[in-house]
Structure 1
């Protein structure tokens, strides 16, 4: 039997969710003097949302290596002398964002994300988050130096696990209350104002009085029914890469009180992930270990033995978030990344983990014989690809223009014949990270109604914000967006609370 009670001690701000965006919002509001409660749907050992599963790479604008060294202060002069760090300006970031979203990203939100990115990274460092250089995935050694590329040179220490450990530590240090196994179910309003929130906790319905609510509990990628309804029936088969608790609760609660929908409800961030990855994120194996992101050096074939994307269209930072859905469209929702010994040393570390599914053979005929595919067509496609590869200088540190001619789809960059054994096949399927459809939110984190006016006392951050990402996104922008709009939502909620709350310190 479900019982109910009121929680009489009021909070200025209640944050729903406990990932990167949520904790940045909670810390920001607390720093502004608010009494803050965080509601985490999952248990203590499954806290951290999708952020827990990331590899920690975070995209921000910076001027030069000196700007990076302020974020990574333990970098020695000797190390710095061996680094080539191209500038990644605010304009570079904005252009990348608008390019990969086909110009659909809301300009006001896109500019806010970009312009606030460096200051927010600095603020995160002040909160105790440790950043390191992303040597493994975003640099190559050339002529004795490490050359960084792709605008993504920094990651959090110990990946998403480290990020969340440090944010939780900071939240607890400054007196933020965190309730686990507490599922927010309904926003309470009086007139046009948010006055409280209902939640389920261990068989009880609890009402918490509050002046402001920040929704930062993710999108609906963990909800099979919503995936099918909004993105397509085939998405019922997608692996959920992150937390199982992102089931659209916050979106539904906000819409119930008049929030406007926004963004690409038919779209999502999805990637190629190991075919045998867990069906939902495994909190005992964090760190984004199942992804397979070295495909620009491969060719990818489906079960019928046919290629279906230009693997070398761009750096993986700008294609991986959309290629997952292309894999999902293939027969059996599976594809095979094929490599030879020429490029095997270039593959990212996830290809060497014991969790990686791999087939290896000394000849292509032997390799294909190990796979449940149309073997004749598979070998024919590889032969045609090898014959189409053009001369040129192969350079994995830049878009080298070494492509193919006479086949479709082409391979625009990094095309080498697959001819030197041993040969390798990695089966991949589609893993969904988060959905792009969410709420209409302004650049300071206020949730808007159908008239595009703020809903008094309601704010949002992270994946709850619709309108930033369409079709695709630049790698590392999800964590950055969560932090930027989390911090802003916390500040906005605090300003609102000071005007309206009796509990503010």
Structure 2
């Protein structure tokens, strides 16, 4: 075997998704010579970010501040929108509640404090921002739209637009991008990282420099999903890239990086029952099914199995996929009637709606026992409040099922009886987006080893960086986390490379 070829840069970024691109741009901005190594081809570049809805969660003072980063077209759309402030306190509360208080306080503090600055910085790099009004809100919704304050902004054209904007910014610089360049292992001497080894068709090539790992988790690795997430997870459809195999996550741990976070959990959400087994850019972005709050969801036995109105969908969708996956055949059916079907998110138009004039007829079309589904609906309807005038499609309305009813599973908000036919159902299954387990890092993006010491020359950002999300997550916080710590890791890795050069003079 021939000896590996060598090249040297100040900063080596592994992974070309949102986090890696922000890291590369930040390192370049700090004066570093940067190379970005992407395992995918140019056509498949972008990691999980490319398949995302590209919503970013950031602190702000309300709609007027949000408007300062919007495109002209989005500004025009925002005329019919309002948005309450999203404060630091609210952000911290959302991180803590979804992670049951386990989220790392230092990392969370940086994420929250730097979230809006990251949005503005990304705009300066060419990212085009808009509101979520066309993504999450039906055109049939009457009157003004009060946008979820935590769904601050989204990238124009979703993940595809986000990745295109960031690569456009990279291509305006002298940052070197190598595609089809899967990193195989870290080049280490003790705890110190000197670069990476890239797997080639007929050998290896070594790239030296301080290293930023932005290579994702293991959402596309069936063996690791079965090992860490449990029975059946190897069969769950992958919402993102097929290149998220966890290779560098394993290699970093083998080199001494400390594993942290929730290795038994993942972002998993309701997807169309016909979801592709791996991310398909023509289908994946349009098949999420997040309007379950406006109806009920049953399994193949016709039974409800979770509180559809526990909270706003942005605070529950990332854990709802798992409870669907735990059902027989990993299937659920979302059922609506004519009081709410007009509220469904626009993406539902891509699904195969099943219509019926009676619950019994609907059950037959879904291959569910009519008696079982009728019993479920009758019991649910009986537990719904008689006065439904307080129903508020845009906010938690407290319209809940009776605590004195015999329901095994309550509905805490939006509890309207299914009583206005024709009824409409959509089949759903579980789709995995990203995994929560990762490696430890400090508030400056520096990787920490098993003994609690820094690993000189090694940084991380994005999904591979653990410690912030446990059990669940607030929608949009993942991309923001990648951008915030990508900026930080880029600056830090550039500074480390500069200091190292000066020492060698």
1:155 aligned residue: 154
Structure 2: 5+ residue runs without aligned partners? none
1:314 corresponds in structure 2 to 311
TM-superposed deviation, 1:343: 0.9
Decide which moves more: 255-264 or 197-206: 197-206
Alignment pair present for 1:58 and 2:56: yes
Q: 1:143, 1:375 → 2: CA distance?
A: 35
CA deviation digits over 1:285-339, x for unaligned, max 9?
45x2111000001101011111110000100011111111101110111111011
Q: Which secondary structure does the structure 1 equivalent of 2:56 belong to?
A: coil
Q: Deviation of residue 476 (structure 1)?
A: 0.5
Alignment match, 1:202 = 201
Q: Which residue is 2:186 aligned to?
A: 187
Q: Does the residue aligned with 2:4 lie in a helix, a strand or coil?
A: strand
Residues 125-179 of structure 1: per-residue CA shift (max 9 Å, x gap): 0000000111134568988433222421411100000000010111111111111
Q: Which of these residues, 72, 79, 85, is aligned with residue 87 of structure 1? A: 85
Larger displacement relative to structure 2 (29-38 or 146-155): 146-155
Q: Secondary structure at the match of 1:116?
A: helix
Instruction: Kindly state the Cα deviation for residue 15 of structure 1 after the two structures are TM-superposed.
Output: 0.8
Q: 1:85 to 1:439 in 2, by over 3 A?
A: same
* Equivalent pair of 1:240/1:431 in contact (CA under 8 Å): yes
Deviation for aligned residue 1:101: 1.1
2:67 to 63, 66, 69: 69
Compute the displacement of 1:503 (Å): 12
**Partner residue, 2:393:** 396
| Distance apart, 1:453 and its partner CA | 1.5
Partner of 1:416: 416
Aligned partners of 1:425 and 1:76: how far apart in 2?
Answer: 32
CA displacement, residues 234-261 of structure 1 (integer Å, 9 cap, x when unaligned): 2122111100110111111111211000
Kept after mapping to 2: 8 A contact 1:260/1:440? yes
| Equivalent in the alignment of 2:359 | 364
Q: Report whether the alignment pairs 1:274 with 2:272.
A: yes
| Distance change >3 Å, CA 79–CA 379, structure 1 → 2 | closer
Matching of residues 397-476 of structure 1 within 5 Å: 397-405=394-402, 406=405, 407-476=407-476
3-state DSSP class of the match of 1:163? helix
1:340 to 312, 337, 340: 337
Tell me if structure 2 keeps the 8 A contact 1:12–1:503: no
How far apart, CA to CA, are the structure 2 residues paired with 1:143 and 1:304? 36
Partner secondary structure for residue 301 of structure 2:
coil
Counterpart of 1:111?
109
Tell me how far 1:466 sits from its aligned partner: 0.7
1:480-491 paired onto structure 2 within 5 Å: 480-491=480-491
Gaps of 5+ in 1: none
The alignment covers a number of residue pairs equal to 498
1:201, CA displacement in angstroms?
2.4
1:69-125 deviations in whole A, cap 9, x for unaligned? 221153798866643221111111111111111111101011110000001110000
Conserved 8 A contact 2:137-2:343:
no
Structure 1: how far apart are the matches of 2:163 and 2:278? Answer: 19
- The equivalent position to 2:118 in structure 1, one of 120, 123, 137, is 120
Query: Aligned pair 1:228/2:193, yes or no?
Result: no
TM-score w.r.t. the length of structure 1 is 0.95
Q: 2:191·2:256 contact (CA, 8 Å) conserved in 1?
A: no
Shift of 1:29: 0.4
Measure, in 2, the Cα distance between the counterparts of 1:291 and 1:468: 24
Residue number in structure 2 paired with 1:218: 216
- Aligned-CA RMSD value: 1.9
**Contact 1:219–1:251 (CA<8 Å) still a contact in 2?**
yes
- 3-state DSSP of counterpart to 2:102: coil
Whether contact under 8 Å (2:269, 2:288) holds in the other structure is: yes
Q: Deviations over 1:196-236 (max 9, x none)?
A: 211112333111122x1100010011111111111102212
Aligned to 1:238: 236
Worse-matched range after superposition: 378-387 or 139-148: 139-148
Distance, in Å, in 2 between the alignment partners of 1:357 and 1:438 is 37
* Aligned residues of 2:85 and 2:149 also touching (Cα < 8 A): no
Change (3 A) 1:76 1:254: closer
